[in-house]
């Protein structure tokens, strides 16, 4: 257990009758980049807030950096960093003002504070904007600055709650580069996202859906388990009709597949029996494309299983 930066057992949080987080278990090893995935409203933020001691769990336990989160102390808070989903910097203050405030809040003063501020400014590439009020900065820079502010005190563990929401793809890539750098220096990172391409960069991921942890493991493990085989993609003229048709074909056993998903104008068919499926599809739709299943395929499959178990409630938007 001491190797774990985070160790969660049966963690539960209820708001009235509503169960936001339902007895989840998972662990994050020290130095790991752990991706915490799930649609909006599935319980990601609630879990993070419990792990930070901002919310008391209704049931279950969690240890973060060896501290029982029911008794989160200031010493504990000083060792973690947090970049919240909401905008966490003071928009009317300048870059330097913000960093100075963050630094001092974590007990950095004098030389050390100066050093760390310079480090963060360089990290975010804001050397020329030290005295710019940050409401004048654009999205990607702000994101990096917010990350920099969250790690100014060199925390052992950082929580990033949807850090890249609303940021353009190039900035997102840069941001992840930063995360790897951090991780290599030994920092444990727990990051939530709903971008599946980002999730594949994580060492391990956990899927949370409607408050339930429906899968935990490395990305390849999960794909292997949930969507074994390959993806065959077809581009029918009417994708929706095709999806319905293929689904009934699959259910009747006519099509040897275990998943038919709509992807924009394309339909993905998951199968282990590549040859026969490909033949079947080619006959109906002409050209097919073959690829490896992605985490997204796995997540859709997992969600369908969960919904099926729950009597088919739809995925919340």
Partner 1 sequence: MIGHIITIAWKELLHLRKDRFLIPVFVIGGILELSLIAWATGQPIDNIPMAVVDLDQSPQSEALIDALDASDTLTHKQTVSSVDKVYDLMQRNDAVLGVVIPEGYGAAVTAGERPSVRLISNGAEAVQATEAERTAQDIIFRQGMRDAYHMEPADYESELPKVTVKYNEDLKRGWYTLPAESGFIFYIFTVILASLAISRERERGTYEQLLVMPYRSIEVILGKALAPMLVGTSLFLAMMGLTVFAFGVPFRGSFILLLVIALLYLMAEMNKGVLMSIGSRTQLQAMLLVFVLAIVDMIFSGYAVAVDTMPPAIRTLSNFVPIRHWLIIVRGVMLKDVGLSVLWPHVAAILAIGVVYATITASQYRRHTD
Partner 2 sequence: MMLAIARKEFIHILRDRGTFLLVTIGPLFLMVIFTYTLTTDVKEAPLAVIDLAHNDASTALIDRLDASPKIHVERHLASADETDNLFKRGEVVAAVVIPADYGQVSLTRVPQVEAIIDGTEPISAETVLTEVYQIADAHSRELAGDALQSDLFEPPIYTTQERLYNDALSSKVDFYPGLMGMMLGLPAIALSLSLARERENGTLEQLMATPIAKRALLLGKLWPYLGFGMVDVYALLALGQWVYDVPFTGNLLAYSLIAFLFMFASLGMGLVVSVIARTQQVAVVIAILVFFIPPFFMSGTFFPVDAMPQLVQLEMMSLPATHFVTAGKAIYLQGTALRELWLQVVLLTVISVEMLEVSTFIFRKKVVGGFRRPAPPVLTTKENALS
The minimum distance between CB 175 and partner 1, in angstroms, equals: 18
Residue with tokens 């088919």: 312
Q: Crossing angle of helices 219-226/295-309, nearest 10°?
A: 50
Q: Give the burial class of 251: count Cβ atoms within 10 A of its Cβ; 0-12 exposed, 13-18 middle, 19 or more buried.
A: exposed
Q: Which of 97, 132, 288, 304 binds partner 1 (CB under 8 A)?
A: 97
Residues in the chain: 317
Q: Are 113 and 149 in contact (CB under 8 A)?
A: no
Strand-pair partners of 80? 157
Each residue 37-66 as x (binds partner 2 by CB under 8 A) or -, in order, gives: --xx--------------------------
Q: Which of 23, 77, 165, 306 binds partner 1 (CB under 8 A)?
A: 77
Q: ∠153-106-89 over CA atoms, to 5°?
A: 80
Residue with tokens 């499959």: 301
Each residue 263-292 as x (binds partner 1 by CB under 8 A) or -, in order, gives: ------------------------------
Each residue 129-168 as x (binds partner 2 by CB under 8 A) or -, in order, gives: ---------xx--x-----------------------xxx
Question: How far apart are alpha carbons 103 and 179 in whole angstroms?
Answer: 20
Site for partner 1 in 124-163 (CB under 8 A): 133
- Sign of torsion over alpha carbons 97, 181, 295, 191: negative
Which of 187/193 has CB closer to partner 2? 193
Q: Does 169 bind partner 2 (CB under 8 A)?
A: yes
**What does the binding site for partner 2 look like in residue numbers (CB under 8 A)?**
39-40, 87, 138-139, 142, 166-169, 172, 194-197, 296, 299, 317
**What does the binding site for partner 1 look like in residue numbers (CB under 8 A)?**
49, 52, 54-56, 74-75, 77-78, 80, 82, 84, 86-93, 97, 101-102, 104-107, 109, 133
């Amino acid at each position: 257990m001491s190797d774990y930066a985070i160790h969660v057992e049966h963690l539960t949080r209820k708001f009235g009758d509503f169960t936001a987080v339902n007895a989840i278990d998972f662990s994050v090893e020290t130095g790991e980049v752990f991706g915490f995935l799930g649609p909006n409203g599935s319980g990601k933020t609630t879990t993070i807030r419990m792990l930070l001691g901002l919310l008391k769990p209704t049931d279950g336990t969690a240890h973060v950096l060896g501290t029982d989160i029911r008794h989160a102390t200031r010493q504990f808070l000083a060792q973690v960093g947090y970049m919240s989903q909401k905008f966490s910097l003071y928009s009317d203050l300048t870059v330097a003002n913000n960093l100075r405030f963050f630094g001092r809040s974590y007990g950095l003063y004098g030389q050390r504070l100066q050093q760390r501020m310079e480090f963060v400014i360089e990290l975010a590439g804001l050397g020329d904007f030290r005295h710019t009020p940050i409401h004048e900065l654009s999205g990607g820079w702000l994101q990096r600055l917010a990350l920099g502010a969250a790690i100014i005190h060199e925390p052992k563990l950082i929580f990033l709650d949807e850090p890249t929401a609303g940021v353009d793809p190039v900035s997102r890539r840069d941001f992840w580069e930063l995360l790897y750098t951090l991780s290599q220096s030994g920092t444990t990172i727990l990051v939530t996202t709903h971008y599946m391409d980002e999730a594949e960069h994580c060492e391990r991921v956990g899927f949370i859906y409607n408050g339930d942890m429906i899968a935990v493991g490395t990305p390849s493990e999960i794909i292997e388990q949930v969507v074994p085989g390959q993806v065959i993609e077809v581009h029918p003229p009417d994708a929706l009709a095709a999806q319905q048709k293929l689904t009934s074909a699959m259910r009747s056993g006519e099509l040897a597949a275990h998943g038919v998903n709509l992807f924009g104008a394309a339909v993905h068919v998951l199968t282990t029996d590549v040859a026969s499926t490909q033949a079947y599809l080619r006959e109906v739709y002409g050209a097919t494309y073959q690829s490896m299943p992605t985490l997204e395929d796995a997540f859709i499959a997992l969600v369908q299983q969960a919904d099926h178990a729950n009597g088919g409630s739809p995925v919340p938007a």
